[in-house]
Amino acid sequence: MSDSGQGSINKQIAKGAAWMVAFKVVDKSVGLVSTIVLARMLAPEDFGLVAMSMILLAALNLLISFGFEVQLIQNRDAGRDQFDTAWTFTVIFSVVCGLVLVGLALPAAQFYREPRLEAIIYALAFGFALEGFSNIGTVAFRREMQFDREFKFLLGKRMASLVVTIPLALWLRNYWALVIGQLASTALSVALSYYMSTYRPRFSLKSKLELFHTSKWLVINNLFGFLHGRSAPFLLARLSGAPSVGVFSIGMEISTLPSNELVAPINRAAFPGYAKAAHDLDKLRDTFLKVIASIALVAIPAGVGVAVVADLFVPAVLGWKWLDAIPLIQLLAVYGVIKALQTNIPYVYLALGMAKRSTIISGIQVIIYLLVLYPAISRWGAMGAAWASLGTAVVMIPVNQAMVAECLGLNATQFCRALVRPLIASAAIATVVLALKSQLVLRHHTLDYALALLLCAAVGALVYVIVLYVVWRAWKRPDGAERHAFAQLETLLGKAGIRVNLVGP
CB–CB of 301/433 below 8 Å?
A: no
Question: Is 142 a member of any domain?
Answer: yes
Tens-digit pLDDT profile for residues 55-114: 777 767 665 565 667 667 666 667 788 888 888 888 888 888 889 888 888 888 888 777
Per-residue pLDDT, 1: 47
Give the C-alpha separation, 140 to 119, whole Å.
Answer: 37
Domain-located, residue 401: no
C-beta neighbour count of 206 within 10 angstroms: 13
Q: What is the pLDDT of residues 407-433, one digit of tens each?
A: 888 877 788 888 899 999 999 999 999
Assigned domain for 469 exists: no
Range with lowest mean pLDDT among 218-222, 299-303, 422-426: 218-222
Q: How far is CA 14 from CA 9, 42, 145, 151, 394, in A?
A: 8, 40, 11, 14, 29
Higher pLDDT, 399 or 247: 399
Q: Using an 8 Å Cβ cutoff, are 272 and 20 in contact?
A: no
Q: Give the whole-number percent of the chain exceeding pLDDT 70.
A: 79
Mean pLDDT, residues 368-391: 91
Number of structural domains, the chain? 1
Residue 339 pLDDT > 60: yes
pLDDT number for residue 231: 84
> Within a domain: residue 74?
yes
Q: Which helix (H) or strand (E) holds 380?
A: helix 355-380
- Asked whether residue 477 is assigned to any structural domain, the reply reads no
Residue 38 is predicted with a pLDDT of: 65
Other CB atoms closer than 10 Å to residue 167's CB: what's the count?
A: 12
* DSSP 8-state code for residue 199: -
pLDDT at 475 over 70: yes
Question: Predicted confidence band at 487 (pLDDT cuts at 50, 70, 90)?
Answer: confident
The residue segments making up the domain with residue 132 are 42-206
- Of the ranges 5-14, 259-268, 300-309, 404-413, which one carries the lowest mean pLDDT score? 5-14
DSSP 318: I
Mean pLDDT estimate for the chain: 80
Task: Please report the pLDDT score of residue 44 as a whole number.
Answer: 67
The pLDDT assigned to 12 comes to 56
Q: 454-466 pLDDT, tens per residue?
A: 999 999 999 999 9
Nearest to 333 by CA among 276, 254, 405: 254
Using the predicted structure, report yes or no on whether residue 281 has a pLDDT greater than 90.
Answer: no
- Percent above pLDDT 90 for the chain: 18
- Separation between Cα atoms, residue 451 and residue 462, nearest integer Å: 17
Sort residue 291 into left (φ over 0), alpha (ψ -120 to 50) or beta. Answer: alpha
Is 67 contained in some domain?
yes
- 100 to 60, 64, 125, 128, 311: CA distances (angstroms): 8, 13, 8, 11, 43
Task: Give the CA radius of gyration of the chain.
Answer: 23
Count of CB atoms situated within 10 Å of the CB of 402: 12
The answer to the question of residue 195 being in a domain is: yes
pLDDT score of 305: 93
Say which amino acid occupies 278: A
Name which of 394, 48, 40 is nearest 238 in CA terms.
Answer: 48
Burial (CB count within 10 angstroms: exposed 0-12, middle 13-18, buried 19+), residue 115: exposed
The DSSP letter of residue 317 is I
State the number of CA atoms in the 13 A half-sphere of 45 facing the CB: 5
| 190-205 residue pLDDT tens | 888 888 888 898 888 8
pLDDT given at position 461: 93
Q: Does the pLDDT at position 232 exceed 90?
A: no
pLDDT at 274 over 70: yes
Mean pLDDT for 45-61 is 72
Q: Domain for residue 272, yes or no? A: no
